[in-house]
Structure 1
Amino acid sequence: MNKPFISLCPEITRAHALTLMDWLKDERVTRYLSDSRDVCRSIEQAIDRTQLPILTHLFNRGGRFFMAYDRYDAPVGFVRLIKTGSDCEIVLAIGDSDKWGRNLGAGTIREGMKLAFLDMRAGKLIAKIHPDNKRSLKAFLRSGFLLESETPTLKTFSMASGRYLQFLREDAVGGSGGIYITEVDKARLESLIALEEGPAVVELEHELERAIVVKPDQVACNVVTMNSRALLQLDDEEIEVALVYPEDANSSAGKYSVCSEIGAAILGYQEGDAIDWRISERTRRIEIRKVLYQPEAAGDFHL
C-alpha cells in the first residue's frame, strides 16, 4: 500500500494506559502537548482508582479517546476528539518515537477525520499546533487543513466537512486505491446507512464517498458489487463469500452483510486488489482472488 495503514480503536485497557504513561514521560513526545502533565497525572490516578481491565469510560470523559495501531497491531499513538457544538478539535501524538518519520501521523489524521466527520458529524475539524512543531504542521497541511488563525505561540488549522468530502471524492485523502460502485448499489446503500450504525457502517460510508460511481451496465465484470460472490485470501486462509444486504446475511453460509467488517472491506474492489482492514480486533490482509459471480455481468440487474 502507498499510504501507511493506521486504525483507531476506542477500547482502552490498563496495558494501554501504562503505554501512554511511558510515552508521556518522553519529553520529545510531550514537548508540544500543552496538557501533557495533567494527562499523565490523570492516567496515573485512573489506574490507581480502579482495578478494572478496561478503562475506556475514564478516557472518554470530555471527548472520545482512541489508540492508534499500525499494520502489525502495535500501538503507536493516540487521538482525542473533543466536540463542541458542530466543531470538533483533534489532538494526537505518535508516541512511539522509534516509528517517527514513517508518515504515521498523516495516516492517523486521516482516520481521525473519518471519525469526526462520518461518525461524530462534525461541521468543522480544528487542530491547534505550536509553530515549532514542524512535523505536525507539515502533516496537517498535507492532509488538506487550512490555516485559520495564528499567534506567536499557536497556529489554528481547520478542515470543513464539505472540503473533506470533496477530498475523498478526488481520492486526495482516501484509502489504498480507487473502488467502483454502481449507481443502483450506491442509492440503496445510502438509504441503508441512514438506518444502520456502528464502526463498519462508518467505514462503509467512507468507501461510498470515495468510490467512482458507474452505471450498472458499465461496471467491470471483475469488480465486487452487491450480491456478488468472490474468492478471498484472508491472511493465509482462502474463503468464498457472498456480499449481501443485512437481511440476507448468514456468515455460517458465507453470506456477509455489507455492514459487516468483511463486507464493507471488499465492496468495490476488483480481482487482484489487496487491502489491509481491521477485522475482529486485529488487522487482516484481504486479497480479492477471483469474482465468481457478479449480477451485472450475468445480466441480473434486478438483484
Structure 2
Amino acid sequence: MTKPFISLCPEITRADALTLMDWLEDECVTRYLSDSRHVSRFIEDVIGRVQLPVLTHLFNQGGRFFMAYDRHDVPVGFVRLVKTGRDCEMVLVIGNRDNWGRKLGASAIREGMKLAFFEMRADKLIAKIHMENTRSLKAFEHCGFVLESQTPTLKSFAMSAERYLRLLREGASNHAADIHITEFDKERLTSLLVFEHPSAVFELEHEIERAIVVEPRQVPQNVVTMNSRTLLQLDDEEMEVALVYPEDADDSAGKLSVCSDIGTAILGYKVGDAFDLRMTNRTRHIQIRKVLYQPEAAGHFHL
C-alpha cells in the first residue's frame, strides 16, 4: 500500500482562498475549529478587497499558513503554525470530508513538525484539540505527541524538540524509508549547515538527523552518497546526476547541489527506492534506478 503523501506549500493563491471558503462552509469541517467564523470572515474580506493572484502575505499575518497538497497536487487541507516565544502552536484541518480516514492528517502533522523544529526553530510544538475530535486526537498521538493538560472541552498535546529529534533518530517518526550516510559525509554536511541560512537547508538538516550513520567502508554499494553518480527516473524521464557540494554544482553538467530539492531528496537512498517530491508547483515521482559510481565502493574515501 502506498504511504500517504502530503506536501505543505507556503504560497497561497486566490484559488486556494476560494477552496478554503468552500471548506469553511461545511459544518462538519468547522465543528471543532474554534476560530472558523473569524477565519471565514477574513478570507471573504480578502477575496473581496484584494485583486491579486497570490495572497501569501495576507495569510501569514500572525503566523505561517500552508496549503496541504496530496501527491496528485490536489489541495486537501491546511496547516497554520503560530510561534509565540520559543513555543509554536499547530492548527490542522483536512478540508474535504472525502479525504478523512486516509491518514493524511498524520502526514500533514509530520510535515508541520519538520517546519516547526527545523525551520522555525521552536522548542515545543503544541496542539489544542477538542475532546470530541477523535480523528485529530488519534493523529497527534500516533505522531508521538504527549498529553500536557486538559479542560472539560480541550486537550493540549505537546511535542518537545528533544523528543522529536529522538523519535527521528530512532526511526519512529515514520517519515520515509531509511537512508544511510557515511560518517565523513555527515561531518562535512554538518559543517556546511553552519554557513547556510537555516530556512534554505532545513530539509537537508532533517535528512541528516534521521539518517543511519555508517563508516565509509560499511556503506552499501547501492546507496547514493556524496559525489556519487546516479541514474534517476524523474516521472517518465531518465537522468544521470552527480550529487555534489554547493561549490561544485553545475546543473548544465548534471552536477546537483546537495542543497537543491532533488539533491537533498536522493541523499542516502538506495537503488530501487522510490518516493514523491513536491518541486515548485507540482509533485514529481523519483526512483533510484542505478548507482553508476560511488566513491566508497571505488575506495575513494575522502571525496
Identify whether the pair has TM-score above 0.5, normalized to the shorter chain: yes
Whether the 8 Å contact between 2:184 and 2:302 is mirrored in structure 1 is no
Do structure 1's residue 246 and structure 2's residue 246 form an aligned pair?
A: yes
Listed as ranges, the matches of 1:214-293 within 5 Å are 214-293=214-293
Whether the 8 Å contact between 2:110 and 2:175 is mirrored in structure 1 is no
What CA RMSD, in Å, does the superposition of the two structures yield over aligned residues? 1.1
The secondary structure found in structure 2 opposite 1:90 is strand
Question: Cα deviation per residue 1:198-250 (whole Å; 9 max; x = unaligned)?
Answer: 76622111111110000011101110000000000101000000000001101
Which residue of 2 is the match for residue 120 of structure 1?
Answer: 120
Which residue of 2 is the match for residue 155 of structure 1?
Answer: 155
Distance between the aligned counterparts of 2:198 and 2:70, measured in 1? 22
Which residue of 1 is the match for residue 302 of structure 2?
Answer: 302
Amino acid at match of 1:209: E
Amino acid at match of 1:75: P
| Comparing 102-111 and 274-283, the one that deviates more | 274-283
Amino acid at match of 2:107: G
Which residue of 2 is the match for residue 179 of structure 1?
Answer: 179
Whether the 8 Å contact between 1:64 and 1:82 is mirrored in structure 2 is yes
Distance between the aligned counterparts of 1:130 and 1:291, measured in 2? 49
Whether the 8 Å contact between 2:118 and 2:198 is mirrored in structure 1 is no
Distance 1:240-1:200 versus aligned 2 partners, 3 A rule: farther
Distance between the aligned counterparts of 2:163 and 2:171, measured in 1? 12
Whether the 8 Å contact between 1:174 and 1:210 is mirrored in structure 2 is no
The secondary structure found in structure 1 opposite 2:195 is coil
Aligned length, in residue pairs:
303
Whether the 8 Å contact between 1:223 and 1:268 is mirrored in structure 2 is yes
Distance between the aligned counterparts of 1:29 and 1:94, measured in 2? 8
Which residue of 1 is the match for residue 168 of structure 2?
Answer: 168
Which residue of 2 is the match for residue 98 of structure 1?
Answer: 98
Deviation at 1:278, TM superposition (A): 1.2
Distance between the aligned counterparts of 1:152 and 1:175, measured in 2? 33
| Comparing 293-302 and 114-123, the one that deviates more | 293-302
Q: With the length of structure 2 as denominator, give the TM-score of the two structures.
A: 0.98
Distance 1:278-1:199 versus aligned 2 partners, 3 A rule: farther
Deviation at 1:176, TM superposition (A): 2.1
- Unaligned runs of at least 5 residues, structure 2: none
Q: With the length of structure 1 as denominator, give the TM-score of the two structures.
A: 0.98
Question: Cα deviation per residue 1:124-174 (whole Å; 9 max; x = unaligned)?
Answer: 000000000000000000100000000101110000000000111111114
Listed as ranges, the matches of 1:187-206 within 5 Å are 187-197=187-197, 201-206=201-206
Deviation at 1:4, TM superposition (A): 0.6
Amino acid at match of 1:109: I
Distance between the aligned counterparts of 1:259 and 1:198, measured in 2? 11
Question: Cα deviation per residue 1:46-83 (whole Å; 9 max; x = unaligned)?
Answer: 11111111000000000000000001110000000000
Which residue of 2 is the match for residue 8 of structure 1?
Answer: 8
Distance between the aligned counterparts of 1:74 and 1:6, measured in 2? 10
Amino acid at match of 2:125: L
Whether the 8 Å contact between 2:6 and 2:108 is mirrored in structure 1 is yes
Question: Cα deviation per residue 1:82-114 (whole Å; 9 max; x = unaligned)?
Answer: 000000000010001111100000000000000
The secondary structure found in structure 2 opposite 1:194 is helix
- Unaligned runs of at least 5 residues, structure 1: none
**Identical aligned residues as a percent:** 73
The secondary structure found in structure 2 opposite 1:263 is helix
Whether the 8 Å contact between 1:200 and 1:260 is mirrored in structure 2 is no
The secondary structure found in structure 2 opposite 1:127 is strand
Amino acid at match of 2:142: R
Whether the 8 Å contact between 2:232 and 2:240 is mirrored in structure 1 is yes
Deviation at 1:194, TM superposition (A): 2.1
